[in-house]
């Protein structure tokens, strides 16, 4: 049974009226390419993507409970690499077994499942034809001592293609010392993926200790993440994965004093965005070539009030003009039934016709 609009309002609590009735006065929704059942025909058919890429994008958008809507709900489970398998799966050891990850994605009604070469390869013959696979091709591993923070390739595009994947995913730490190499590696990988007909999803993260200024963390600022998104689409990512903005003004903070970091225009803050979370996320969508590449936001780590937080994130993404959510730890770090329920709650936001683009 779908989550009723009243239940969504209850989960949003005191923010319900503001989030559900807000009208975006910054960048008009009329200027955006919005998710729809004909999204591939309307947007990607105009591009240089070959028919095999279009087929796989359509397969991803047609699968699961959100199939045919243009919206996506993806289960990502690659935390076993960066966060360690023990730390990630201790709350629910069943997920040390890759098959249970796939089962959660299927029973949860997801459009696709994103994971490692190892996880998806272990069960590819049994499941690659039952749910679209998204192979994460690079990772940051934290076994090196002391820890380093870098995305390195864990396999080849050819290997992902051979296991029957519909898409590949990668991460770039924009702003990091290693970002130039990562940009070149991912650009080559995405070019090869498109040649073979695989869709591409880019995790456009920012990472630099300098992005914390006077106690304020700007890693999730709308201006910095927006530019990361813009670079991601420039690398020909078909879908952009980004953390939802928590503030704005990263460029302005970094330009204080003797620094001349980055380029900015005051209109970014005064006309193209406001302090409202929907407007901040709208700015992220605009940087995805006005929505030509779909924006999916992350669900964040698990914690208190997971169901309310997941619904809130989905409402903001949808009303901003985004394409969906990619939520992992909130779902797999709990019993299967609860994980399915959480994923369904997210999907119900996108299935609710009363929740419209602001």
Over the stretch 92-112, which tens digit does the pLDDT of each residue have?
999 999 999 999 999 999 999
Give the separation between CA 62 and CA 236, rounded to whole angstroms.
22
| Residue 300: pLDDT over 80 | no
> Band of the pLDDT at 304, cuts 50, 70, 90?
confident
pLDDT of 226: 98
The CA-based dihedral angle spanning residues 208, 328, 199, 107, taken in that order and rounded to the nearest 10 degrees: 180
Does the annotation count 241 as an active-site position? yes
Percent of the chain having pLDDT more than 90? 88
| Residue 258: pLDDT over 90 | no
Q: What is the pLDDT of residues 308-357, one digit of tens each?
A: 999 999 999 999 999 999 998 899 999 999 999 999 999 999 999 999 99
| Residue 301: pLDDT over 90 | no
Q: What is the pTM of this model?
A: 0.97
Q: What is the pLDDT of residues 3-60, one digit of tens each?
A: 878 899 999 999 999 999 999 999 999 999 999 999 999 999 999 999 999 999 999 9
Give the separation between CA 48 and CA 61, rounded to whole angstroms.
19
pLDDT of 58: 98
Give the separation between CA 25 and CA 39, rounded to whole angstroms.
25
pLDDT of 257: 67
Q: Do 124 and 102 form a contact (C-beta atoms < 8 A)?
A: no
Between 190 and 258, name the one with better pLDDT: 190
Q: What is the pLDDT of residues 59-93, one digit of tens each?
A: 999 999 999 999 999 999 988 888 888 989 999 99
Q: What is the mean pLDDT of the chain?
A: 95
Q: What is the pLDDT of residues 153-187, one digit of tens each?
A: 999 999 999 999 999 999 999 999 999 999 999 99
Give the separation between CA 48 and CA 297, rounded to whole angstroms.
25
User: Which member of 103, 136, 241, 243 is catalytic?
Assistant: 241
State whether residue 173 is helix, strand or coil: strand
Q: How far is CA 163 from CA 41, 59, 124, 139, in A?
A: 27, 16, 6, 19
Percent of the chain having pLDDT more than 70? 98
pLDDT of 309: 95
Helices 222-234 and 277-287 cross at an angle (nearest 10°) of: 20
């Amino acid at each position: 049974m779908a989550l009723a609009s009243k239940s969504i309002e209850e989960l949003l609590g005191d923010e319900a009226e503001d989030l559900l009735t807000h009208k975006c006065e910054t960048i008009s929704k009329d200027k955006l390419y919005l998710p729809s059942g004909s999204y591939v025909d309307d947007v990607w058919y105009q591009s240089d993507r070959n028919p095999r890429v279009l087929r796989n994008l359509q397969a991803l958008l047609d699968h699961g409970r959100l199939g045919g809507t243009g919206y996506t709900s993806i289960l990502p489970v690659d935390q076993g690499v960066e966060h360690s398998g023990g730390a990630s799966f201790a709350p629910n050891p069943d997920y040390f077994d890759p098959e249970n990850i796939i089962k959660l994605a299927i029973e949860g009604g997801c459009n696709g499942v994103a994971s490692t070469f190892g996880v998806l390869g272990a069960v590819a013959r049994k499941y690659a034809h039952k749910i679209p696979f998204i192979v994460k091709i690079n990772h940051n591993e934290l076994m090196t001592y002391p820890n380093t923070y870098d995305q390195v390739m864990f396999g080849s595009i050819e290997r992902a293609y051979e296991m029957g994947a519909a898409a590949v995913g990668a991460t770039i730490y924009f702003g990091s010392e290693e970002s130039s190499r990562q940009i070149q590696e991912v650009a080559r990988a995405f070019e090869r993926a498109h040649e073979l007909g695989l869709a591409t999803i880019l995790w456009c993260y920012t990472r630099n200790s300098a992005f914390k200024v006077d106690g304020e963390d700007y890693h999730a600022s709308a201006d910095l993440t927006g530019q990361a998104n813009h670079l991601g689409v420039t690398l020909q990512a078909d879908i952009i994965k980004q953390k939802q903005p928590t503030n704005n003004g990263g460029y302005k903070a970094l330009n204080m004093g003797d620094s001349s970091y980055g380029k900015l225009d005051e209109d970014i803050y005064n006309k193209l965005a406001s302090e409202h979370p929907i407007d901040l996320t709208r700015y992220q969508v605009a940087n995805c070539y006005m929505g030509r590449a779909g924006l999916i936001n992350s669900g964040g780590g698990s914690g208190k009030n997971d169901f309310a937080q997941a619904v809130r994130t989905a409402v903001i993404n949808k009303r901003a003009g985004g394409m969906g959510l990619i939520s992992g730890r909130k779902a797999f770090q709990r019993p299967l039934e609860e994980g399915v329920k959480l994923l369904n709650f997210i999907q119900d936001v996108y299935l609710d016709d009363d929740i419209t683009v602001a």
